Amino acid sequence: MAPTLYMSEISPSCRAVLMTARILGLTLKVKKMDLSKQEQFSPNFLKINPQHTIPTLCDNGFIIWDSHAIIAFLVGKYGNDDQLYSKDIMERALIDQRLHFDSSVVNNFTRTILNPMLYNNAHISVDEHRESILKTYALMEKFLRSYPWIAGKKLTIADLSLIPSITSLDVIVPISREDYPNLTKWIEKAERLPCYVENENGLNLLRDLLSCRCCCPC
Ligand SMILES: N[C@@H](CCC(=O)N[C@@H](CS)C(=O)NCC(=O)O)C(=O)O
């Protein structure tokens, strides 16, 4: 039976799972959640995930949440090889470092900026966060100085995790090609991947929602 993914395309973390599933050729049974209706707090969903976050995956009764844990699990269970998540100790350590960088730094902006804007109608001053976002771009730029992909010569789950997070941040603080040439090239390379379509759909939705938030007097 296909694993069930509780998700919303707007969420960068969910898009990381969709991209990974696409690259693995894995079909997921998708259950869309509307966070603006607070569906994550429904008693049924809280039974599955008391932390009430999406993405959450249910695979034959095995439940796991947090996109980073989910994509590592999917590659381990459904991947034909370890290309996306090397078993070599040092290669894997670098991938893990980048995954934790996403989790603790880049993806964290989703919680502090995007989600309050989208779901709590909160007025967030992007200017207050601009400096730390630019610092994040500068770090990514440095990581990409030595390698074409974020954790080495090959595409890995660290790229699949960071691409949705960074492209979502780009919607609120655009990435300057002049200041961040390596970061720009990495995004352009990612856009050419067949699995990128799974990021594009949600990213466009996010753009539309945020532009509406900026012009509506509501
Ligand atoms: N680090 C987590 C972040 C998950 C997360 O915060 N998801 C947000 C949507 S982007 C969510 O479910 N928010 C609803 C809530 O926390 O109640 C991951 O990578 O899965």
Nearest CA, atom 5, ligand 1: 53
- Supply the CATH number for residue 57's domain: 3.40.30.10
**Predicted local distance difference test score (pLDDT) of residue 24:** 98
Range of the domain at 192: 89-215
Ligand 1 atom nearest residue 33's Cα: 12
Ligand 1 atom nearest residue 8's Cα: 9
**Predicted local distance difference test score (pLDDT) of residue 214:** 54
User: What pLDDT, in 10s, does the model give residues 38-70?
Assistant: 999 999 999 999 999 999 999 999 999 999 999
**Predicted local distance difference test score (pLDDT) of residue 118:** 87
| Residue 112 pLDDT exceeds 60 | yes
* CA 178 / ligand 1 centre spacing (Å): 32
Specify the 3-state DSSP secondary structure of 47: helix
Distance CA 96, CA 90 (A): 10
Q: Are residues 98 and 190 in the same domain?
A: yes
Residue percentage of the chain with pLDDT more than 90: 86
Q: Are residues 51 and 104 in the same domain?
A: no
| Residue 217 pLDDT exceeds 70 | no
- Segment among 11-25, 69-83, 101-115, 193-207 with least mean pLDDT: 101-115
Query: Of 27, 46, 78, which closes a domain?
Result: 78
Nearest CA, atom 6, ligand 1: 53
Query: Of 23, 48, 78, which closes a domain?
Result: 78
SS3 content of the chain, % helix, strand, coil (to 5): 65, 10, 30
Q: What's the structural domain count of the chain?
A: 2
Ligand 1 atom nearest residue 12's Cα: 10
Distance CA 105, CA 51 (A): 20
pLDDT band at residue 120 under the 50/70/90 scheme: confident
Going from the C-alpha of 135 to that of each of 8, 131, 179, 187, the distances in angstroms are: 28, 6, 12, 17
Q: Is 103 touching ligand 1 by the criterion CB < 6 Å?
A: yes
**146 inside domain:** yes
| Residue 93 pLDDT exceeds 50 | yes
Q: Are residues 145 and 199 in the same domain?
A: yes
* CA 136 / ligand 1 centre spacing (Å): 20
Q: Is 56 touching ligand 1 by the criterion CB < 6 Å?
A: no
Q: Are residues 25 and 97 in the same domain?
A: no
Ligand 1 atom nearest residue 16's Cα: 19
73-90: average pLDDT: 97
| Residue 218 pLDDT exceeds 50 | no
**Predicted local distance difference test score (pLDDT) of residue 216:** 47
- Supply the CATH number for residue 122's domain: 1.20.1050.10
Q: Are residues 203 and 97 in the same domain?
A: yes
Model-level pTM?
Answer: 0.96
List the Cα angle 118/209/22 in 5-degree steps.
95
pLDDT band at residue 215 under the 50/70/90 scheme: very low
**Predicted local distance difference test score (pLDDT) of residue 213:** 65
* CA 146 / ligand 1 centre spacing (Å): 31
Distance CA 63, CA 69 (A): 11
Q: Are residues 146 and 96 in the same domain?
A: yes
Q: Are residues 118 and 207 in the same domain?
A: yes
Q: In this predicted complex, what is the ipTM?
A: 0.98
| Residue 96 pLDDT exceeds 80 | yes
**84 inside domain:** no
Q: Which residues of 38-73 are buried (b: 16+ CB within 10 A; e: fewer)?
A: ebbeeeebeeebeebbbbbbbbeeeebbbbbebbbb
